[in-house]
Amino acid sequence: MTHPALNLTHDPQSPSWLASANGSDFPIQNLPYGRFRSQPSEAWRCGVAVGDQVLDLVHLASQPQWLQAPGVNTALATRAAQAAAQDLRDLMRLGPDAWHALRVALFLALRSDASAAVQHEVGSALHAVNTVALGTAVQVGEYTDFYTSYYHARNVGIAVGRGSDVAPNFFWMPIAYHGRASSLGVNQALHRPMGQAVAPGQTQPVYGPCQRLDYELEMAIYVGQDNAWGQPVSMAQAESHIFGMGLLNDWSARDIQFWEMAPLGPFQGKNFATSLSPWIVTLEALAPFRLPFARDAAHPQPLAYLDGEALRGHGGIDVNLSVSLQTAQMRSQGQAAQEISRTNFKHQHWCVSQMLVQHTVGGCNLHAGDVLGTGTISGPTPEEAGAIIELAQAGQKPIALASGETRAFLSDGDAVVLRGVCERAGAVRIGFGECRGEVLPSIAA
């Protein structure tokens, strides 16, 4: 399993001439990709987040002289920039060498020692992020959601009275279901879903608004390169097929979900909305934050096709994650969102490469821009829960908020904010930004 090695683009001693980039979520050591537009009538175009600005790659691709610097593979970087200007998926399909070439060119053009001419050219392609609209980072063709947190699986079982046992197959393969790409969005305002559910103590379902609306703290894995139909991707190839990662909130209607999931998987309880953060942080940007991947000795070790020396050496990723909640009352009183949980992606039982390999092992063909959700990310302690069903024990122990309110599940007007950041000594902190969504009242069919 190859992975991006540390290189000059990770240098912590390299500030940017763009002051807002230094010390922000988006320094030049990050350079995440997304899509933006200045007017609703405009087409979405590819950009890169730098500090409080968005760098317009469509503009820069038309002025290739900014790519000509020592250490840049100018021909490949130019091809990569022009591909991104057409469609981010075109850049993805060029593969890791092209991704790296463009990253180096962007890094050098934004570094403090860039020439005055380059600074002028690049500066003319910057847009203040608060003056543009941000869309989904790429046009997503397919969406699959995994279930890869042992702690989440254990906690939910306890909360709903099934006990702490986890299904045996969980320990042997990353489990997933196919989601609905059409309901993916950025900064969503979503209506509480309608559906069938069975109330506690009842035997027949009723139709109405979801009563147990939940969020799920997840990360999004963005597929980079296609694999041919019928051709599985091996562990050795997996990371070259992954472009990067973002934040994901897989909203869940728990009452609808638990009624319908017998015997098949999630359907109406999940397909109404899934929120994404606007930016894709590349795997190369995450290189300083890689960790050894270790499995609890008490659990079965992966089968050979999901294992490898490289996986065990650096298959994990150290990402600090948090969930904040802002109620309508808090908003009306000018109170900021309150953090209600904090955890880390390193706790997942399965890693990103294993998820991609398992998805393709039967011959499924993934495409550039496809999204794989990691499943809820929970840690070993109660405060590290990635969903309110865990925090509030399926509604039995509502969480107390600083506003004086309590929440067993989400109420109309609640806004949920996910955040992610990578930090370690000797590296520049990089962030994922925010994934935000607000709950609106139901619309009856």
Instruction: Name the band, by pLDDT with cuts 50, 70 and 90, for residue 1.
Output: very low
> What are 82's two structure tokens?
């022009």
Output phi, psi for 172, to 5 deg. Answer: -110, -20
Global pTM reads 0.97
244-259 average pLDDT score: 97
Average pLDDT across the chain, whole number:
95
Q: Which of 69, 138, 137 is nearest to 104 (CA)?
A: 69
Instruction: Name the band, by pLDDT with cuts 50, 70 and 90, for residue 2.
Output: low
423-432 average pLDDT score: 97
278-284 average pLDDT score: 98
User: Could you please report the per-residue DSSP string of 180-197?
Assistant: -GGGEEESEEEEPPEEEE
Output phi, psi for 433, to 5 deg. Answer: 80, -145
Alpha-carbon gap, residue 35 to 5, rounded angstroms = 27
The per-residue pLDDT for range 100-144, each reduced to its tens digit, is: 999 999 999 999 999 999 999 999 999 999 999 999 999 999 999
Does residue 152 have an active-site annotation? yes
Alpha-carbon gap, residue 187 to 371, rounded angstroms = 17
The per-residue pLDDT for range 150-161, each reduced to its tens digit, is: 999 999 989 888
The per-residue pLDDT for range 79-98, each reduced to its tens digit, is: 999 999 999 999 999 999 99
Other CB atoms within a 10 A radius of the CB of residue 324 amount to: 18
> How far is the CA of 405 from the CAs of 40, 128, 340, in angstroms?
38, 36, 13
Residues in Cβ contact with 301 at an 8 Å cutoff, skipping those fewer than 6 apart:
295, 307
From the number of C-beta atoms within 10 Å of its C-beta (0-12, 13-18, 19+), residue 182 rates as exposed
List the domains of the chain with CATH numbers.
8-135 (2.30.30.230), 146-440 (3.90.850.10)
Please identify which of the residues 10, 152, 314, 347 carries the catalytic annotation: 152
Instruction: Name the band, by pLDDT with cuts 50, 70 and 90, for residue 445.
Output: low
